[in-house]
Structure 1
Amino acid sequence: MPVALITGASRGFGRATALALVARGWDLVVDGRDNAALERTVAELRSRGGPGTQVLAVPGDVADPAHREVLARVAGTIGAGSTVDLLVNNASLLGPMPPIAEYPLHRLASVLAVNVLAPVGLIQLLLPSLAEVDGTIVNVSSDAAVEAYPHWGGYGASKAALDQVSAVLAVERADVRVYAFDPGDMRTAMHQEAFPGEDISDRPEPETVVPALLRLVTERPPSGRYRASELLAGVGA
């Protein structure tokens, strides 16, 4: 069975991705900051997995280097080959949403730590394993990385940096596939945080976006930046 490590898997898009993969026979290592929510997700994952499917949970914050070390170590203990086939850097921090001129720098540092440094840290730890099996890295991006939305400067800048990390890694390493994946708007808790008090029920559920990511994982087009809307329409970015 192939092995995937998915960060931020206790809710939203990470949870939906984990459920889709486990139903397809993948072994999983998942993490999340909310231990109770992570335990509920793991119970559901195990109930959906087939005989012998392994799902291991490591609660914690991806911004913590020690937590990342544990994630990488656990990921090397499951599956037949002790290698990781897929890394999904999904965990993200929205952060505050003031104008850039008023953005507290210590809060911006926290956003960058979760959205940029943590994915890079996990990539560095897992790259030897991923390269051994011609593996796949999916860095979950955002349209805020390429569009200038007022009050989205901190989050958008972090995702733009993640896009560039993905692009540079792709040209440096031909032995893995590297995707910056833009899922578009979704009906998630983080998206609700960005629009407090507003009705976001018109946004698509995360489960409806997962097929776009699965297309990347199964068809493995050239490394690059891909939008879910284009993948779902059958057109690569």
Structure 2
Amino acid sequence: MHTALVTGGSAGLGLALTQDLAADGWHVVVDARDATRLERAVGALPGSVSPVPGDVTDPAHRQALADAVARAGRLDLLVHNASTLGPTPLPPLAAVGPDALGDVWLTNVAAPLALTQLVLPTLRACGGALVSISSDAAVEHYEGWGAYAASKAALDHLTLTLGVENPELAAYAVDPGDMRTAMHQAAFPGEDISDRPLPESVVPAIRALLRRRPVNGRYRAVDFAPPTGTSADPAGTGVTGADHQGVPA
């Protein structure tokens, strides 16, 4: 049984991806800060799911995640999805103090790297995939998004450098696009974001990316989205989950 580790899996894209992988026969190790919310989200999911509540910034929690991976005996996919916007409403960068910036950096950059370091030998042994959920803010410049954007740009860089240093891995920074999530709502308080797509709509594109396993790099999920109403290979490569020689999607 293939194993994935997904951080931030009690809601949004992390939960949608956990649900999809578990339904497809994967064992999924998943975390979130709120234990009750995590159990409510994944406790009744069909398939094999190991919830590990805790905060990725806590070294003891990261070790607990690594221990769960060790018990599974393999790691085929590591998804860094947990993140924070920092102070909201989003302030101009000139108003972001060092403590606030440090909190964003710890959650979005330092913790993912530290977790990767713990499980890297297992991920490498399986020829697995490292996926960091990014944002268009990592390459564009938006008022109020400076701290978050800088952290995502840094995470992109770390992810792709790990790919260079570990050629056994597939390494991807994935921009999922706007989604109808609590985090996105927090960035736009009082605004109606019901026109944004649900996180579930992004999962097929991420699975397609993993099936195709292109060269390491930064990708937009929309570029791998299957045509509406089809399940065909969106990249036109002829590669399916059954045919794939690397990480099954």
Q: Which aligned pairs between 1:121-136 and structure 2 lie closer than 5 A?
A: 121-136=114-129
How far does residue 71 in structure 1 lie from its aligned partner after superposition? 0.4
1:17 aligned onto 2:11: no
Identity among equivalent pairs (%): 55
* Aligned equivalents of 2:125, 2:112: Cα separation in 1: 19
SS in 2 for 1:128: helix
SS in 2 for 1:59: coil
1:60 aligned onto 2:54: yes
- Residue in structure 2 matching 1:99, options 92, 103, 118: 92
Uncovered stretches (5+) of structure 2, i.e. residues with no partner: 227-233, 237-249
SS in 1 for 2:75: coil
1:39 aligned onto 2:68: no
State the TM-score, normalized to the length of structure 1: 0.93
Uncovered stretches (5+) of structure 1, i.e. residues with no partner: none
1:207 aligned onto 2:200: yes
Q: Is the 8 A contact 2:212 2:235 kept in 1?
A: no
SS in 1 for 2:44: helix
* Aligned equivalents of 2:97, 2:124: Cα separation in 1: 39
Deviates more, 1:208-217 or 1:188-197: 208-217
**Residue identity opposite 2:91 in structure 1:** P
**1:68-112 deviations in whole A, cap 9, x for unaligned?**
01100111102xxx0111100100101112111110110110111
* Aligned equivalents of 1:193, 1:35: Cα separation in 2: 21
**Residue identity opposite 2:114 in structure 1:** G
* Aligned equivalents of 1:171, 1:84: Cα separation in 2: 19
1:157 aligned onto 2:150: yes
- Residue in structure 2 matching 1:140, options 127, 133, 137: 133
**1:187-232 deviations in whole A, cap 9, x for unaligned?**
0000000001110000000000011111122222211111011111
* Aligned equivalents of 2:34, 2:181: Cα separation in 1: 15
State the TM-score, normalized to the length of structure 2: 0.88
1:192 aligned onto 2:211: no
Q: Paired residue for 1:118?
A: 111
SS in 1 for 2:143: coil
SS in 2 for 1:32: coil
Q: How many residues align?
A: 227
